[in-house]
Amino acid sequence: MGKIIDRLEEFIIGTLMAVATVVIFVSVVHRYGTGFEIPGVQDWLLEINMGWAQEFCIILFVWMAKFGAAYGVRTGIHVGVDIVINKLPTKPRAVMVQLGLFCGVLFTGVIGIFGAAFVWENGMAYETLSLLGSDTGAHFEGPTTPDLEWPTWIVYSAVPLGSFLMCFRFIQVMIKFARSGELPTHDHGHVEGLEEGEVLVVGEAIAIAEQREHAHAGLSEREWEKQHPAVDDKKEEK
């Protein structure tokens, strides 16, 4: 179940990023394209309404940020000032870490509860009760977004969903730390494919990148090294 949630989280974040990138690209091309007086093309572009793109991408980025924050808790990519805590003895450090994680659980849980209540009263209750054929009572329909005219409660749903997911991630980290004493960490300076402590100059990095590219193209590593003996010599020196 945990892996399914992990993959779903990554899929949502990746999809939101991809869609936002495509929409922004199309919007920019459309904006500049309408400025060129090309017969037929300019009129066709002017007929296309892209005024909704900015609002749509803002919504995507809001959702991306909320789910990305939960992903950050799971992978340990959030920035934290822990130089003093790490210098404490083992037991006091464990207490302080658990206290910090508990504060994260409490904060995100409270935000999730208040966010859910806000979304419910901001139009979700009206929509849900109307769909079920029940009396809506004092609940109102709720506002809509200016350009897309979407119900705002759908947009604001990112707050409780992202907060509850973040709360769940904090609980996961708490349990893992209690069992193993380990926290998720992420080395921001690590380069994928580079061994720990290995340092490359610019020329070597480019050469290795070309080597891998040729390997993917069907040229074996040994054949490539024969064509580039200088890089092979540097490897032997190391």
* pLDDT tens digit at each of 238 positions of the chain: 778 888 999 999 999 999 999 999 999 999 888 888 888 888 888 888 888 999 999 999 999 999 999 999 998 888 777 788 888 898 999 999 999 999 999 999 999 999 999 999 999 999 999 999 898 888 888 899 999 999 999 999 999 999 999 999 999 999 999 998 888 876 655 555 556 555 555 566 566 666 666 655 555 556 655 655 554 454 455 4
Parent domain of 173: 2-180
149 with 221, same domain: the answer is no
CB 172 within 8 A of CB 76: no
The pTM of the full predicted model, rounded to 2 decimals, is 0.73
Give the pLDDT score at 182: 85
pLDDT reported for residue 137: 86
Domain assignment present for residue 195? The answer is no
Are 162 and 215 in a shared domain? Answer: no
Q: Which residues pair with 151 in a beta bridge?
A: 144
218 in the same domain as 110: no
Q: How many separate domains does the chain show? A: 2
CA dihedral 41, 32, 16, 167 (to 10 degrees): -150
DSSP 58-125: HHHHHHHHHHHHHHHHHHT-S----TTGGGS-HHHHHHHHHHHHHHHHHHHHHHHHHHHHHHIIIIIH
Q: What is the pLDDT of residue 46?
A: 85
* Confidence (pLDDT) at 82: 79
Q: Identify whether residues 59 and 149 lie together within a single domain.
A: yes
Q: Is residue 6 assigned to a domain?
A: yes
Residue 62 sits in the same domain as residue 120? yes
187 lies in some domain: no
